[in-house]
Amino acid sequence: AHVEHLHCKDASSESKVISETILSLKEKDKSATWNDFAILVRANSQAEEFADMLAMANIPHQNYSAIGLYKTSISMNILAFFKVLDDYHESRALFRLLSAPFLNIASEDIVKLNHHAHKKRVSLYSAIQQPQMCGVSNDVSLTEIDKLRAWISSYSEKAKQDKPTNLLLDWMNQGYMQYLTSLPDGESQEQFRLLKALYDHFKTIEKSVPDARVHDMVDILEQEITSGDAGSLPIDAELGPEMVKVMTVHSAKGLEFKYVFVGNLVDRRFPTIERSEQIKIPDDLVKEVLPEGDIHIEEERRLFYVAITRAKNGLFFTSAENYGGTQKKKLSRFLLELAEVHPSFS
């Protein structure tokens, strides 16, 4: 594979040179599609500038770092259901369920229920016990509200004894699965893919905590979300319309592309510093603080290996001198190590 290092003056120039190189490669390689290109970054926060520049160049792309599994509608609906089972007076979660597309409740009726709850200073759950008292008269809405109440009553009891994954599959078959099947093919396939990813994550949690119930699952997921974990979003490079993929190295595991760009290859961006490090360490002390055998650096080095092995035909490393700070950035130690092993690379 062709290997090249593109060093730029600043972050904007780095993004621009990647866009220009992608356009040039696609022009030269007539068999290449947009799906053959990927831009890999170490952290989600680094992806936005690359995505913005691709948009300016009218290059179709998907920024996979902009959304996580927990931010998808299907995940939020399932988490809302679990939250209501854990505490049926959780009005925000119940409001999401009332608004969910697999329940055919008229939006004006949801407004009436919500208004009644606020006016009477009661929970939304209390309001759905007597929807007619809230002004709901639509027969379809009343039937769907009855269905939701029955779910909450039935599954709240099961939640105390059964595993969350069993509850999830059982509940999904009460109408949600049929709704997903009714969607257009591409959208339906994507939703089932997300559902499987969430289900697999639940199974992983259940293996770690064998006696986990819905209450525990809600706690664990809330802790993950609070800590900034948006959930690993599964990526199918061939699914959907042709697009350049912008994603983290973590997300790219198992995928391959004709042409790969690894961005922001400067010190403290790739490799990163440990999260626990609160004080900025002077550059001349970094080697002393982070010795060769450092566990964090070894993990970063493994990620770098993952990044460079995603490319089949062309591998492009990019970096810049300035990312908005007052000092010039040093090149990533991984680029320097690569130059030592392969003198022809610079």
Q: How far is CA 20 from CA 51, 113, 185, 328, in A?
A: 13, 54, 34, 24
Residue 138 has pLDDT above 50, yes or no: yes
Q: How many other C-beta atoms can be found within 10 angstroms of the C-beta atom of residue 82?
A: 23
Please state the rounded mean pLDDT for residues 68-82. 92
Rounded Cα distance, 340 and 346, in Å: 9
Closest CA to 214 of 284, 280, 174, 165: 165
Distance of CA 75 to the CA centre of its chain: 11
Rounded Cα distance, 59 and 16, in Å: 12
What superfamily does domain 2-66+235-341 belong to in CATH? P-loop containing nucleotide triphosphate hydrolases (3.40.50.300)
Average model confidence (pLDDT) across the chain: 89
CATH number of the domain at 70-226, please?
1.10.486.10
Please state the rounded mean pLDDT for residues 167-176. 95
Residue spans of the domains in the chain: they are 2-66+235-341, 70-226
At residue 239, what are phi and psi to the nearest 5 degrees? -80, 140
Q: How far is CA 73 from CA 53, 67, 96, 101, in A?
A: 28, 11, 10, 10
Q: Give helix 91-99 / helix 73-86 axis angle, nearest 10°.
A: 130
Residue 290 has pLDDT above 50, yes or no: no
Q: 61, 269 in Cβ contact below 8 A?
A: no
pLDDT of residue 346: 57
pLDDT in tens, 300-341: 999 999 999 999 999 999 999 999 878 899 999 999 998 887
Q: pLDDT above 90 covers what percent of the chain?
A: 70
pLDDT of residue 275: 52
CA angle 259, 334, 54 (to 5 degrees): 35
pLDDT in tens, 235-270: 776 666 789 999 989 888 889 999 999 999 999 999
Residue 345 has pLDDT above 50, yes or no: yes
Q: In the structure encoding, which two tokens stand for residue 238, read together?
A: 């061939």
pLDDT of residue 341: 76
Rounded Cα distance, 191 and 182, in Å: 11
pLDDT of residue 239: 66
User: Which of the four pLDDT bands, split at 50, 70 and 90, describes residue 66?
Assistant: low
CB-neighbour burial class of residue 27 (10 A; exposed 0-12, middle 13-18, buried 19+): exposed
pLDDT of residue 26: 97
pLDDT of residue 133: 95
CB-neighbour burial class of residue 128 (10 A; exposed 0-12, middle 13-18, buried 19+): buried
Q: How many other C-beta atoms can be found within 10 angstroms of the C-beta atom of residue 321?
A: 17
pLDDT of residue 63: 86
pLDDT of residue 214: 96
CA angle 48, 50, 53 (to 5 degrees): 110
Q: Coil, strand, or helix at residue 259?
A: strand
Rounded Cα distance, 114 and 118, in Å: 6
User: Which of the four pLDDT bands, split at 50, 70 and 90, describes residue 190?
Assistant: confident
Q: Coil, strand, or helix at residue 257?
A: strand
Between 281 and 154, the more confident residue is: 154
Residue 122 has pLDDT above 80, yes or no: yes
Q: pLDDT above 70 covers what percent of the chain?
A: 91
Please state the rounded mean pLDDT for residues 198-226. 93
User: Which of the four pLDDT bands, split at 50, 70 and 90, describes residue 293?
Assistant: low
